[in-house]
Structure 1
């Protein structure tokens, strides 16, 4: 190769220079639009955050929808005897159905984590029970144990669930046991998490307060909500302020109905399951947390004595809400028991 040819290859032509300038200009324009887009995204995100912070109801609703989506659940409604039931449904095409019952003062969302646990084996259905969540109280009728057990049966039949695996926590655990006693033909197995309904050998602080006439779970302001969290969790979960504000507001709005339900259920939740145990044939897994301040772990002994087909355990380091404190341990035991 001669020197002149080398120089021709190394020295850019006019066309090459123009192409380089055009490329540089396009890159600058692209970077500028990218920065504009990022700025708009940041502004939009900040605006959305400010809006949600000042609109707790929308923040609460979005948080619930996000939780449902993450758990693989769909929100559905159905009408039974003129009443609207709202429920969460995994809609999984499995031959086994899990009917899940939430605890006192909560809603279907409190049990959402059951769906991923049983994703491979069960269709999971979680209703808002009457008077809780988005399910209104049923008029002036007494909301006692008989009312709830028959309401649960009406829901099961309306959804054509057939034989179910029952899962309940706290109040829902007591309902599950009572349902299994009254409708044994519809229950294959049941999992009871921190269940109420039996006399505790050890009376803890919460129970003493109830005996003295207090209602420790009555939420009427932010301080009482903090107390409810303390009773339920050894280490209460972090909660964004808008969600906390809306939770308290919803509790206060429904307070009269809640207090009425507590009075209707008080005898049952104290020891109403014990006389029914002789009629329970379904195998049961009963779990408590060692740090439970509501349903004392000493209650496991009552279940062990009353249920012939029972497995039970007290989980170290867990409070009342086992699905929050010990999710992996609960998931493992639940899958093994319901397989």
Structure 2
């Protein structure tokens, strides 16, 4: 091989190695910054705009794309210890002409962190209703979607404010009882005996616990390098006390089964999506909702765990859009018959 060609490969290799090494070093030293850059990049790529709304001094942080039109807007509520950007995998597969809104739940990410009263399910429902009013989202009925904790909130919201909504999607929602115990719930039973709130499986404090949490939440198994796990857990650790405060509110008597206690009040068209291999909240919860609300649509996903939004984003997006379109079209047909 010509010496000049060899030199070219050496220079090219060195040129690539420098940013790669810089990235790895930066992730180890400033993981939070790089993760924010990552989400900023995907927001720009997907056309999601970051914004803030205020209601009597309380600030909500949210992202949005598009404007209200002939199709219903979609408001998305994330789960415990997550944030608005967790929906981006699913946003990628939602039509660009649909108005989308993803909000940080009370105390999470950029939304105001106040006190325990706001972190109960009823407290979160009230805050989300304030957010809806602050951005005038309920000028016409919208579609509400929530996963896990957010699914619990979405279900109770539907029971409290039916006139705001045209339809609802609950993805592996919390707040049900009389279902099969999941792996996560069994671990919580063991923790109750020791009363050790430092070992809640959804609040990791080191890379090993982070890896266990990912295994618990996802059916798909990824081999994640130790450095990446360390970076992920480093971002969460500063918020762990807050997550524990929220979690202790969610397991109190008035929040633990709030969806179960209010589901009979849901009159809005309802869709339930659940991963069959969910280890956090057992899939038997879907049958409980179907029994209480016979008209609801249930979609169970094979080879999928608790994080449906990240494990099966395309499938989930298609199911939601089909559900919205079906009910919008049936509503239009009914109106034509009445006229």
TM band (smaller chain): 0.7 to 0.9
CA distance in 2, matches of 1:120, 1:142: 33
1:106 equivalent among 79, 82, 100: 82
Higher relative contact order (CA 8 A, sep 6+): 2
Match of 2:180 in 1: 202
What SS does the aligned partner of 1:104 have? Answer: coil
Equivalent of residue 94 in structure 1, options 45, 48, 69: 69
* Aligned with residue 179 of structure 1, among 136, 157, 163: 157
Mapped pair 1:234 → 2:249: no
SS in 2 for 1:78: strand
Query: How far apart are residue 265 of structure 1 and its match?
Result: 1.4
Q: 1:55-102: CA deviations, max 9, x gaps?
A: 222211111112222332111122222122211111345342111000
* Candidates 19, 23, 47, aligned match of 1:45: 19
Q: Verify: 1:191 aligned to 2:169, yes or no.
A: yes
User: Do the aligned partners of residues 39 and 203 (structure 1) sit closer, same or farther apart at CA in structure 2, a change above 3 Å counting?
Assistant: closer
Distance 1:240 1:86, change over 3 A: farther
- The answer for the alignment partner of 2:33 in structure 1 is 58
For the structure 1 residues 175 and 209, does the alpha-carbon distance in structure 2 shift closer, same or farther, using more than 3 Å as the test?
A: same
Aligned-pair Cα RMSD in Å: 2.6
C-alpha separation between the residues in 2 aligned to 1:243 and 1:84?
32
Q: Give 1:40 deviation, angstroms.
A: 9.4
* Equivalent residue in structure 2 for 1:118, among 76, 91, 94: 94
1:282 match: secondary structure: coil
Distance 1:257 1:77 in 2: 21
Alignment of 1:10-25 (within 5 A): none
Q: 1:315 to 1:50 in 2, by over 3 A?
A: closer
Q: Is the CA contact 1:197–1:273 (under 8 Å) kept in the aligned structure 2?
A: yes
Match of 2:245 in 1: 260
- 1:305 corresponds in structure 2 to 291
Structure 1, residues 278-325: CA drift from partner, whole Å, max 9, x if none?
211111110111110011011111100112430002211111111222
Q: How far off its partner does 1:38 sit? A: 6.7
Would the aligned equivalents of 1:168 and 1:174 in 2 still touch at CA under 8 Å?
yes
Partner of 1:156: 132
Give the match for residue 145 of structure 2: 167
Q: Spell out, residue by residue over 1:126-172, the C-alpha distance to the aligned partner (whole angstroms, 9 max, x if none).
A: 11111222324214545211110000000001011122100111111
> What do the CA deviations read for 1:178-214 (whole angstroms, capped 9, x no partner)?
0000000001101111111111431122112223326
Match of 1:295 among 268, 277, 281: 281
> SS of 1:208's equivalent?
helix
Contact persistence 2:271–2:298 (CA under 8 A): yes
Question: How big is the shift at 1:118?
Answer: 2.8
Residue 23 of structure 1 is matched in structure 2 by none
CA distance in 1 between partners of 2:110 and 2:221 (Å): 24
Verify the 8 A CA contact 1:283 1:310 in the aligned structure 2.
yes
Distance, in Å, in 2 between the alignment partners of 1:243 and 1:71 is 24
Tell me the SS of whatever aligns to 2:92: helix
Residue 281 of structure 2 is aligned to residue 281 of structure 1: no
Match of 2:329 in 1: none
